[in-house]
Amino acid sequence: MSETWDLIVVGAGTTGMPAAIFAAQRGVKVLVLESAAEVGGTLHVAMGQISAAGTRIQAAKGIDDSPDRHFDDIVDITDGLTNQPFARLAADHSADTLHWLLDLGWEPLAEHPVKLGHRPYSVARTYWGPEFGVSILKAIRPVFLAAVERSEIALRTESDVVDLASDAQGRVTGVVARGADGEVQTYAGRKVLLATGGFGAGRDFFKEVTGYPLFTWAWPDCKGGGAQLAIKAGAEMWHREHFIPRWAGIATPESGDRVERLTDTTSRRPAWEIYVTGQGSRFVAEDVAEPLAREQALLKVPDLTFWVIYDDAILREAPPLFDAAPPEKIARWWNHHPSFVKADTLAELAAAASIYPANLTATVAAYNAAVDSGHDALGRKHLPRRIENGPFYAVKHHGAAATTIPGISVNERLEVVRGDGSVIENLYAAGEILGMGLHSANAFVGGLGLMPALTYGRLLGERWLQWDAVAEAAD
């Protein structure tokens, strides 16, 4: 431990890179530790949606918008459940972050901004680039790596932070990291920023925090290591009550214990099929337009798992259910993988899929009666045809984690806090480690995942992290 860094950033992704860039521009001595072999984190796979109000793009297109209106929309979309001080913070500072990205060369699609979200905003304010999250990465990464090349930022990849160093008073004094060669080293730091992402690929930790099994398409490095370090130091997980799954993925022979989006079970393609639980009961009107309504219904389904049920006539007549896999590949999976079951009768289908046979038979009969009468007990409107002609098909789907909802507790300066509200000195956290529930509650507000992560990294590096050697007053 031969030198002391002003700032140690754990994670070189959506939050970590902006924090390091802006801190280095202030003359701060920055060390960035990244567990992967390359920088970027979830930007490699993210949809790249960011939202901001009062931007110069909106002004050029004659769109009247403001941070106040953005904040009001966040409160409205989340039914008042957003953490309002943080929603205010994100709404007030996001336009500056978007302008920074534009100045770096990031370009949104020509038709943007658009209205987007599980419940859309009242005005168009959401953007993404042609390569989604990679578009953002391509704008930020060159600036970050140039600072590394100039020795303004020290970067250690394949360095897994395994512990926080602290003094007798509980103040964080650095980190302990294991390199690719297995060597463990302690790095001393005046401030430590945990920017490690969520825990959408951390199976055991996910179950511990949410109470649900993990089905995921999250970035594989998001295993919750940073959150567990903060908890060990005294932090708590907050916004657990807002947990909600994303709709919905399939485990395939290729995906192993992860899931893939292979079917269109959204309102873009009105359902011809029915969705049933392992008990054989329907749980949602399959043609419901609002994504959030589907996800809230799925939250009540055991293990977040359901089956899409249809018959041979629907297979032949309906728009293709599988919109992201070639038919010849799907054909090889029937009865050769537990997610894909085909049988000549409903009873055989139920037995093969471990669905309660009597319940499935009764559910299909009730649905067929609804088709005949034109009135469905769950409120479904699209009732194109009965399910009655074998062979019958069942495809297992799972509610999935793309991002994580609960997160580490912090104050409005992004200092990590204990359960009693006291600050863990010198320890900060930002990005998905704070949890999507912080801003979006259980509503997945459009563009409010990546944008706060970028913005908080920028704000921490630009103005909030203070040292004796950096004589700047906080805002």
The tens digit of pLDDT for each residue in 237-276 reads 999 999 989 899 999 888 877 898 889 887 788 899 999 9
Please report whether residue 469 resides in a domain.
no
Residue 1 has pLDDT above 80, yes or no: no
Q: What is the pLDDT of residue 464?
A: 67
Cα separation, 234 vs 225, whole angstroms: 15
Give the CA angle between residues 274, 279, 284 to the nearest 5°.
Answer: 40
Task: State the pLDDT confidence band at 382, using cuts at 50, 70 and 90.
Answer: very high
Please report whether residue 253 resides in a domain.
yes
Rounded average pLDDT over 405-425: 94
Cα separation, 321 vs 312, whole angstroms: 13
Say yes or no: 130 and 198 in one domain.
yes
Rounded average pLDDT over 15-36: 96
Within 28-132, where are the H helices?
A: 56-60, 67-77, 84-104
DSSP string of 223-239, one letter each residue: SSHHHHHHHHTTB-EE-
Residue 193: DSSP 8-state: E
Say yes or no: 212 and 299 in one domain.
no
User: CA distances (Å), 425 to each of 171, 204, 413, in order?
Assistant: 5, 29, 12
Phi, psi for 403 (deg, rounded to 5):
-130, 170
3-state secondary structure of 416: strand
User: CA distances (Å), 377 to each of 196, 371, 374, 384, in order?
Assistant: 45, 11, 10, 16
Q: How many independent structural domains does the chain possess?
A: 2
Cα separation, 190 vs 205, whole angstroms: 29
Phi, psi for 345 (deg, rounded to 5):
-130, 160
Say yes or no: 229 and 269 in one domain.
no
Say yes or no: 172 and 159 in one domain.
yes
Q: What is the pLDDT of residue 116?
A: 77
Cα separation, 401 vs 42, whole angstroms: 13
- Which of 350, 375, 400 represents a domain boundary (last residue)? 400
The tens digit of pLDDT for each residue in 342-377 reads 999 999 999 999 999 999 999 999 999 999 999 999
Residue 468 has pLDDT above 70, yes or no: no
Phi, psi for 127 (deg, rounded to 5):
-135, 155
The tens digit of pLDDT for each residue in 286-306 reads 999 888 889 999 999 999 999
Cα separation, 287 vs 306, whole angstroms: 16
- Which of 344, 375, 400 represents a domain boundary (last residue)? 400
Contact 189, 5 (CB under 8 A): yes
Cα separation, 12 vs 211, whole angstroms: 29
| Residue of higher predicted confidence among 328 and 96 | 96
Q: What is the pLDDT of residue 220?
A: 85
What percent of the chain stands above pLDDT 90? 83
Please report whether residue 255 resides in a domain.
yes
Give the CA angle between residues 219, 225, 230 to the nearest 5°.
Answer: 135
Which residue type sits at 396? Answer: K
- Which of 400, 420, 447 represents a domain boundary (last residue)? 400
Q: Which domain holds residue 103?
A: 4-238+404-464
Residue 467 has pLDDT above 50, yes or no: no
Residue 472 has pLDDT above 70, yes or no: no
Can you count the helices (H) and strands (E) in the chain?
14, 17
Cα separation, 351 vs 292, whole angstroms: 31
Contact 367, 376 (CB under 8 A): yes
Say yes or no: 160 and 91 in one domain.
yes
Q: Please state, rounded to an integer, the average pLDDT across all residues of the chain.
A: 93
Element (H, E) at 200: none
Q: What is the pLDDT of residue 355?
A: 96
Q: Look up the CATH number of the domain holding residue 251.
A: 3.90.700.10
Say yes or no: 396 and 290 in one domain.
yes
Please report whether residue 129 resides in a domain.
yes
Say yes or no: 343 and 418 in one domain.
no
Say yes or no: 84 and 151 in one domain.
yes
CB atoms within 10 A of CB 161: 23
Say yes or no: 200 and 279 in one domain.
no
Say yes or no: 9 and 142 in one domain.
yes
